[in-house]
Structure 1
Amino acid sequence: MPMMMKNWLTNTFGFSKREYNGLLYLVIVIIVVTFIPYFYRYYLDSKSEQGANDKLALQALALVDRYNKKRYNNTRDEIEGATAKLPIRYFEFNPNTITEKEWQQFGLSSKQAMSIVNYVKKGGKFYKAEDLKRMYTISPEKYEALLPYVSIPKAEQFEKKTSFTYTKKEAVILDINTADTLELDKIKGVGAAFARRIVKYRERLGGFYNKEQLFEVFGVDTPKFNEIKDQVRIDMEGIVKLDINKVEFDDLKRHPYLTFKQMNAIIQYRKQHGPYKSITDLNKILILKPET
């Protein structure tokens, strides 16, 4: 494009190369001079706008700062006003019964007073004046100021309960095939947990036929057995016997001495050969051990 213009000017007006270059520079200067005012105004407007934004931001920060100061002053005035409404006044009191407002009359804040009242409501007790030291909301200085006014009437004083009362068990001899859990609990060395285990295992067996079976009860070791063996006896009349000709699989499955296969074999033998004629017929079931 510049070359076409140069040829046109040269052919039309007879411009030399030097004259053409001079004309080109002149045109550039005219363009620059023409647009400088526009750029200058744009620059000034942008700068003014930025300055206005900065000014608005500073004004907003100032407003926030004034608001925070006002809120702080209002809160402080409220606290001071509340304190002013309740002038410090000491009087004789029972810390187990006075109200939140009465605590505030001693110069405690509402929060401090509420903490002490809640402590009492939840079962906390003041047995003596010195117990006020336990309350972290009461400063040492305030404790010293309150101490002369504490009055806990003897008729209303709370007795501290002992942790437990131990009752010595008397010597007994019980039949472990008939005794219930309450009776077994009377045996020295047998607590409620052991009593429940003995009864539960006895129900599975149908009854104990010798004392050594107590070793099969969970938790009974040699020292425990030696401790209780002379306090128990075995009455065979208390053993619950099973009718081998009527017993079903569900009756046998709880028995601790029989496996699943042995239980099934007992039932199947009866179905195949008819009722058992004597207990010795069980010896014909090969998977049953003689001691079973």
Structure 2
Amino acid sequence: MKNWLNKYFGFTKREYNGLLFLMAVLLFLAVFPYVYDLLKDKQEPATAVEVTAIKQLELVNMESDNRDGYAYPDHARAVRKAPELFRFDPNQIDASQWQSLGLSAKQAQSIINYRNKGGRFYKAEDLQKMYVISPEMYARLKSYVTIEGGATDKFENKQPFHKDTNPRPQKELAVIEINGADTVQLQEIRGIGPAFAKRIANYRERLGGFYRKEQLLEVFGLDSAKFEGIKDQVRVDAGQLKKININTAVFDELKNNPYLKYKQINAIIQYRKQHGPYKAIEDLRKVAILTPQNIQNLAPYLTF
């Protein structure tokens, strides 16, 4: 390198040595901070006081994390409150009050949904029909159930219950004729809310009217438990049925009938075209695609 510098730059020996010294100084200055830190870490170990302070700080951080629910996830899990028993009307209390009695949020919402669809409890034993209430829970709650005429407080009141010595007479149940009633009148039936009233009216329109009470069981969502609760509050006037002449009816007049499928309607019309008018309900038995149940269901609605 020396010969190269002399050849191209004309450096003397003294200048060459000076250049080397300058490069060495610059290199030293560049690496000195890193070497100093390395030597310092090795030569100055933490004192006993510093080690103790560090451990104490770690314990404080661990305790803080534990209180906040981060260090130990199990501590962060929500714990359901112990049940608080109080007198309640199952037709009135809200989801939070059901949870206070010991139900989960999902179980409480299931009961609220049942009530929103028109469901109602008439006696304590009705709680047993709710699948979310176990036999053990029912046994715990039944003596606290008060329906219509029990405690007059706002349910949160935990005062002892005193029997009313002068109970008010209960309103007599209305009996509604379901073929002529509108949706407002249908809601006078205890246990029927706006949603069920609308479903009953819509199904009645498809049928042409009810000819017996048991047809209410065909309404979507109206199960046997609800039917038992309302059957004594309804009556049927079969004279209000809307009947169809089976010999003149076209497809559109029959398509909404819940007892017939499209293929069966087409078969009824085609048979009539090929064999002439039907003379009696027995003639429908000649339409092979119709079942005895179809014919029995249709009979009150047909004229010939």
The two structures have a TM-score, normalised by structure 1, of 0.43
Structure index of larger Rg: 1
> Please, what TM-score do these two structures have when normalized by structure 2?
0.42
Greater relative contact order, per chain length (Cα 8 Å cut-off, separation 6+):
2
Looking at secondary structure, tell me which structure has more helix per residue.
Answer: 1
